[in-house]
Structure formats: structure tokens, C-alpha cells
């Protein structure tokens, strides 16, 4: 983990207000994959739940959810955005223990925020071990192609809302790193603006290494283009699996 977790309060709020589209897009596919778990009354552990955008869809559909994220600010938001979960936990992969689960899900590539391929491997092992027999795993993750796309020239971008603004500079310093340097302006109660800065590094992997690794932990998994029928950005791939033993 970086010295301070990703997504402190201001960026957490910006994510919730301005970047809800991904969770909205993938939710129908995730819900369809988890339907047998819902019918059986199983526990869904969501890692990297962020502000609770998918969490609230899961709860609305009747799932029993433990929502978790490495960012305390995100978990605080998720409590408000998605009330009714079985639990809300500050949980940083790969070191914090995952509760035993009948499904483990994560969207918005939380696993790609881990600091190294070794950390990603350790998180995958922990996910496989925490899954109960018959359990379902589904998450998205950045492949090397995620960075190749941006080499074509992702310009610096800005977003402006009523009471915040975000400027993001992108870079791909190596084949396995996708970097965003984000400056966040948030309006104070007195109308002035404060400024924060976050440096995010995503580790890009060859996602074909993931199914064999999960297999070592009793999970039969495959790489897919989507959770359901949604269209994802180039290089963002989906892993879906089932614990067989």
C-alpha cells in the first residue's frame, strides 16, 4: 500500500459523484452471475467497494453483502450510500484477512491498485482460499493492453462539477504501470476551494496468469471480455470462476 491509502475524502467524493458509470454498467452482469448465491442466501464479500455503487445494487437485489475497501473514506461513503449491508470493513488486500464467502466480487479494477504482481498473486490466493465450495468469484482487472491503449495519447483531462474539479495527468512509464496524477479542488463551506493531490499507480498484468493461479486454490476460472453484455474499455478484462474444492 502507498503511505496513505488511495482515495482520501475529497477524491472519494469526486469518484462517487463523477465516476459512477462503471459500476452502473457492470451491475446487471454481476447480478446475473451471482443469482445462484442470492437464491441460496449466501454471503457476498465485495472488495474495493469504493463508495458503495455496486454494493447498493447488490443489496437492492436481496444479497447479503460485506462491503470492504482499503480506503477508510470510501468505506464511510459506502455506509451512507449502501445501507443494509451485513458489514462494512476497511480491508486492504492482500494482507488483511478476507471473511469466508459464497461470492467474492470487485469492480473498477481494485486488484490493479496493489503495488506489485507479487501482491496481486497473494491477493488472488487469499480470494481463492476465502471462497467456500461452490462459491463464485468475479472481478475486473487491467491487462497490459490497458496501458497500450493509453500510449496512443491519453491527454491530460479535466472534469468540472458544481463544487469540485479534477485534473488528471496520465502516464505509462513502463509496460506494467498505468499512472494517474490527480489534482482535486473541493469547495469549502465558505465558498473558498481547497486542493488535494493523489498519485495512483495501477499494476498491469498478463491476465492469462490468473486462472492457473486460482486453480491452485481450488477455483476454476476463465478470462472474459465482460461480466455480462456490457462493453468495457480495451485491456480491462473480467475473471469469473467457481470454487470446486
Ligand X SMILES: C[S@@+](CC[C@H](N)C(=O)[O-])C[C@H]1O[C@@H](n2cnc3c(N)ncnc32)[C@H](O)[C@@H]1O
Residues that bind ligand X (CB under 6 A): 1, 6-7, 22-23, 47-50, 53-54, 69-71, 74, 92-93, 107-108, 110, 113-114
3-state secondary structure of 105: strand
User: Is 49 or 214 the residue whose CB approaches ligand X more closely?
Assistant: 49
Check: CB of residue 34 under 8 Å from CB of residue 104: no
Strand partners, 138: 105, 240
CB nearer ligand X, residue 108 or residue 135? 108
Q: Which is nearer to ligand X, 48 or 241 (CB)?
A: 48
- Write down the least CB distance from residue 136 to ligand X, Å: 17
Task: For residue 84, give the C-alpha cell.
Answer: 443494509
Q: Is the Cβ of residue 134 or residue 145 nearer to ligand X in the bound state?
A: 145
CB of 40 to ligand X, least distance (A): 24
- Cα torsion 214, 121, 175, 26: sign: positive
Residue 225 beta carbon to ligand X: minimum distance, rounded to whole angstroms: 18
Shortest separation between residue 108's beta carbon and ligand X, angstroms? 3
Strand partners, 136: 103, 242
Q: What is the dihedral of CA 101, 122, 8, 169, to 10 degrees?
A: -130
Select from 172, 227, 163 the least CA-distant residue to 192.
163
Q: Which residues pair with 178 in a beta bridge?
A: 202
Q: How far is Cα of residue 62 from the mean position of the Cα atoms in its chain?
A: 21
Taking the complex as a whole, how short is the minimal distance between the CB of residue 110 and ligand X, in angstroms?
3
Q: Is the peptide bond before 94 cis (omega within 30 degrees of 0)?
A: yes
CB nearer to ligand X: pick between 183 and 220: 183
CB of 107 to ligand X, least distance (A): 5
Nearer to ligand X, 92 or 221 (CB): 92
Amino acid at each position: 500500500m502507498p503511505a496513505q491509502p488511495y482515495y482520501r475524502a475529497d477524491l472519494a467524493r469526486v469518484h462517487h459523484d463523477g465516476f459512477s458509470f462503471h459500476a452502473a454498467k457492470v451491475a446487471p452482469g454481476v447480478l446475473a452471475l451471482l443469482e445462484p448465491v442470492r437464491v441460496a442466501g449466501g454471503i457476498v464479500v465485495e472488495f474495493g467497494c469504493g463508495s458503495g455503487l455496486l454494493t447498493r445494487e447488490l443489496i437492492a437485489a436481496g444479497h447479503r453483502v460485506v462491503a470492504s475497501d482499503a480506503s477508510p473514506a470510501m468505506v464511510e461513503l459506502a455506509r451512507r450510500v449502501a445501507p443494509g449491508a451485513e458489514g462494512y470493513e476497511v480491508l486492504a488486500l492482500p494482507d488483511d484477512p478476507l471473511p469466508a464467502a459464497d461470492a467474492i466480487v470487485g469492480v473498477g479494477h481494485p486488484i490493479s491498485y496493489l503495488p506489485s504482481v507479487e501482491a496481486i498473486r497473494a491477493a488472488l490466493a487469499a480470494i481463492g482460499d476465502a471462497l467456500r465450495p461452490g462459491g463464485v468469484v468475479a472481478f475486473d482487472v487491467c491487462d497490459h493492453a490497458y496501458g497500450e491503449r493509453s500510449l496512443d495519447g491519453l491527454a491530460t483531462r479535466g472534469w468540472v462539477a458544481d463544487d469540485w474539479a479534477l485534473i488528471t495527468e496520465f502516464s505509462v512509464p513502463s509496460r506494467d504501470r498505468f499512472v494517474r496524477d490527480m489534482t482535486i479542488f473541493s469547495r469549502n463551506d465558505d465558498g473558498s476551494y481547497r486542493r488535494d493531490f493523489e498519485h495512483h499507480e495501477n499494476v498491469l498484468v498478463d491476465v492469462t496468469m490468473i486462472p492457473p493461479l486460482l486453480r491452485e486454490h481450488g477455483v476454476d476460472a476463465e478470462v472474459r471480455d465482460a461480466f455480462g453484455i456490457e462493453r468495457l474499455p480495451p485491456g480491462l478484462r473480467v475473471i469469473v470462476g467457481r470454487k470446486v474444492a
